[in-house]
Amino acid sequence: MGTDISYLLEGDFTAPLPGYLWHASLQKVLALDILQKYRQGQTEDATQMLEVSWEINQSLTEQPYLISQLVALIVSQYQVGVMRKIDNLPAQWQEYLRERDYLDSILTSLEGEAVYSFKFGQHFLWQLSKSSFKEVLQEQLYLDTPLLTLFILFKPVIKPYIRFSAIDTHRAYRAGCECK
């Protein structure tokens, strides 16, 4: 099992971010239902509902978004709380809890979110601001098109270079201040 971030890496910027918080509300209701069934002596039904709850939560853990991973972690806490209250729970549930690496899932989703943010910013800057660059540069500086084209082509390289130069200059400045 793992978190699939492939469609974040492909950069579909038209897809809306899904809402996941209703999962937590649903899981609270399921947890209460499981506990109620267990208290009434319906242990088989309670175990079956716990499996349903677990499967629903697994669909969240396979999503690449950080919010889905956080909600899955919250839901897992509900499930663990229910498991603590149930006596004679089969050993398979301990294995279910151990097989999921939540830290790895969260780190993978953070990586996916960072890449998605970078790709979104790159897409936004490249697609939406090319015409505004042409307008500003041609109106104010009267630059010819070949130079403008070079600027636009090297924009993805120039911006990080300027950022890293600023970071390097800031570090050198702080090192100079600490020496005094």
Q: How many Cβ atoms are within 10 Å of 110's Cβ, its own excluded? A: 13
User: End of a domain among 114, 137, 166?
Assistant: 114
User: End of a domain among 114, 140, 165?
Assistant: 114
Instruction: Judge if 106 and 19 occupy the same domain.
Output: yes
Helix axes 92-99, 66-85, angle to 10 degrees: 160
Instruction: Judge if 57 and 145 occupy the same domain.
Output: no
Instruction: Judge if 43 and 106 occupy the same domain.
Output: yes
Q: How many Cβ atoms are within 10 Å of 40's Cβ, its own excluded? A: 10
Instruction: Judge if 77 and 163 occupy the same domain.
Output: no
Instruction: Judge if 22 and 72 occupy the same domain.
Output: yes
User: End of a domain among 114, 143, 171?
Assistant: 114
pTM for this one?
Answer: 0.60
Instruction: Judge if 133 and 101 occupy the same domain.
Output: no
Domain enclosing residue 17, as ranges:
6-114
pLDDT in tens, the chain (180 residues): 455 556 555 655 566 667 788 889 999 999 999 999 999 999 899 999 999 999 999 888 888 788 888 899 999 999 999 999 988 888 888 888 888 888 888 888 888 777 777 766 666 555 555 555 566 555 555 555 555 665 666 666 666 766 677 777 767 767 776 765
